[in-house]
A and B are shown apart, each in its own frame.
Chain A
Amino acid sequence: DAGVIQSPRHEVTEMGQEVTLRCKPISGHDYLFWYRQTMMRGLELLIYFNNNVPIDDSGMPEDRFSAKMPNASFSTLKIQPSEPRDSAVYFCASSKQGPNTEAFFGQGTRLTVV
């Protein structure tokens, strides 16, 4: 398996624009996590899915953020409208069912909002 695949790797956008980040989890994994990494806050859990269903979105910072998982092999994280403070590295991770399994991370998307 190629691992968790995220696209794009880098995104530069203007304030106010819509941004969509994409993730393809490892085949057979039941959980999908979206994290945001910044210097100030470290690695924050934004939302996670189990079998394509959102379980906990309490980490989503504002209504400007939304995430979907239409099928087991694809998820999106959308920011609309984007703001400079959204600049960060966004990671997608997936894991198998069961709490004693680790998460596998993608390479991340570095988002810069100017």
Chain B
Amino acid sequence: AQSVTQLDSQVPVFEEAPVELRCNYSSSVSVYLFWYVQYPNQGLQLLLKYLSGSTLVESINGFEAEFNKSQTSFHLRKPSVHISDTAEYFCAVRGVGDDKIIFGKGTRLHILP
């Protein structure tokens, strides 16, 4: 079985500052990893995903995440945040050979002016 831990429930950061949202996972099999974003009163949208190959994956809006197998981590980073990045971010894992998608509890990103 897989599990996901997002250590920070909330992260405040000033506009144009860098941010890192942490995600650690546990699994006995190889995994696929995802970051989703949820804007207020909306469903979850895929931000980026790691399937295989390069351990660094990027989204179209400047976010990136790096898969670190030895540390079982998939932290999300952005070098300079914008007010529009205010949202809740969820890390998710799907095990190879397992169909379930398990989510972390989410990290709420607060952008301070």
Residues of A within 8 A of B (CB): 4, 31, 33, 35, 41-43, 45, 48, 50, 55-56, 91, 93, 95, 99-100, 102-108
| Most chain A beta-carbon neighbours within 10 Å: one of B52, B97, B105 | B105
Q: Which residues of B contact A105 (CB under 8 A)?
A: 36, 43-45
Q: For this complex, into which size category does the number of interface residues on chain B fall?
A: 20 to 34
Provide the bound-state CA to CA distance between A50 and B32, in Å.
19
Min CB distance, B47 to chain A, in Å? Answer: 10
Q: Which residues of B contact A102 (CB under 8 A)?
A: 34, 46, 49
Task: From the candidates A43, A45, A56, A107, name the one contacting B90 in the complex (CB within 8 A).
Answer: A43
List 25 A-B pairs, Cβ < 8 Å. A31-B99, A33-B101, A35-B103, A42-B104, A42-B105, A43-B90, A43-B103, A43-B106, A45-B100, A45-B103, A48-B100, A56-B100, A91-B43, A93-B44, A99-B32, A99-B94, A99-B95, A99-B97, A99-B98, A100-B32, A100-B94, A102-B34, A104-B46, A105-B36, A107-B42
Q: Does B87 make an interface contact (CB < 8 A)?
A: no
- Tell me the B75-109 residues at the A interface (CB within 8 Å): 90, 94-106
| A100-B51, A107-B42, A107-B43 known; A55-B106 Cβ under 8 A | no
- Tell me the B1-58 residues at the A interface (CB within 8 Å): 32, 34, 36, 42-46, 49, 51-52
Q: Which residues of A contact B44 (CB under 8 A)?
A: 43, 91, 93, 105
Provide the bound-state CA to CA distance between A76 and B19, in Å.
39
Provide the bound-state CA to CA distance between A56 and B59, in Å.
31
| A48-B99, A99-B32, A99-B95 known; A43-B105 Cβ under 8 A | yes
| A99-B95, A102-B49 known; A42-B103 Cβ under 8 A | yes
A99 lies within 8 A of B102 (CB): no
